Amino acid sequence: MNKLHSTKRGLLNFILGCLFFCGNASAQSPYSLNTKKEIYWLSSGISVLGLGYGLGTTTKSLKADEILNLKPTNINSFDRFATENYDIEIQKLSDGFLYSSFAGAIPFLFDKKVRKDIVVLGVIYTEAATITAGTTLLTKFLTDRNRPFVYNPNAGLDEKMRRQARHSFFSGHTSIAAMNTFFIAKVFSDYHPDSKYKPLVWAGAVLIPAATGYARVEGGKHFPTDVLAGYAVGALAGYFVPHFHKKKNQKDLVFHIYPSPFGLSIEVDLN
């Protein structure tokens, strides 16, 4: 845990240095930073990430007799078929899809507009990443859901008795892949709103995490509801974290929040 705290402090100090050094984005950038807000969101994201990681290490693994007493019939009908899946090669394929979601950022290195804002985008990406990863890890700990392969006789007992075997909900592979691809597509669209490549970029943003989730289910690592939830969380973070950093006169979505007899009402306008 000391190493974790040291890593968190080092990461936070580095990011805060970037914030004070960089201030706001350049005039041509679609994004701007607010030092106080960024400190709040970054510290919150890193704290949730650290909490989720720390609590995840306290998960109690299943015992052999508990595993033998598990019944697939206790799984809801929508998810139950996943207990029949177990394929190590497809699990490795899902890793490949996840890695490809990071590789999508490589073309940005050749984009002059993006390179000028690399520090600003690094801060925004770190916020999206820590929020997504922290939420994923914390939810895994709070739910302690058994992975599908725990019910499958083809999987080894040693694997079933690991702590990670109880971290099914929700899918981290899918949430991180969706966060990466939606972040890339959103940033690309904001820098190049009239680009003819936007449909292709967004198609990739949708399909890569979908393929990741499909492979996680087919490999026996996750239930369909795990990947659906992971997809939603990652996509929302990847899209809206950059969106909320857009300069006010450039936002394509405007949110109005006001009190109503039923609580808070939210309206969304398209500019």
Quote the number of domains for the chain. 1
Going by the DSSP 8-state scheme, the letter that residue 75 receives in this structure is S
Tell me, what's the pLDDT at 206?
97
Q: Say what the pLDDT of residue 107 is.
A: 87
Q: pLDDT for 31-59, tens place per residue?
A: 999 999 899 889 999 999 999 999 988 99
The reported pLDDT for the residue numbered 249 is 67
Q: Which two tokens stand for residue 183?
A: 């972040």
User: Does residue 97 or residue 23 have the better pLDDT?
Assistant: 97
Most confident of 49-53, 171-175, 256-260: 171-175
| Residue 28 CB neighbours (<10 A) | 9
Q: How far apart are CA 263 and CA 180, in angstroms?
A: 34
Say how far residue 36 (Cα) sits from the centre of its chain. 24
Q: What is the pLDDT of residue 112?
A: 87
76 pLDDT above the threshold of 70: yes
Q: What is the pLDDT of residue 248?
A: 78
Structural domain for 117, as ranges: 2-270
Cα 91 → chain centroid: 19
Q: Which residues touch 259 (CB under 8 Å, ≥6 apart)?
A: 265
Closest by Cα among 127, 138, 136 to 37: 127
**Cis amide bond preceding 20, omega within 30:** no
More confident residue, 102 or 16: 102
Task: For residue range 108-149, list pLDDT tens digits in order.
Answer: 888 888 888 999 999 999 999 999 999 999 999 999 999 999
| DSSP 8-state symbol, 24 | S
Residue 48 belongs to domain with CATH number: 1.20.144
Q: Which two tokens stand for residue 194?
A: 């009239």
The percent of residues above 70 in pLDDT, for the chain, comes to 82
DSSP string computed for 129-176? HHHHHHHHHHHHHHH-PPPGGGG-TTS-HHHHTSGGGG--SS-HHHHH
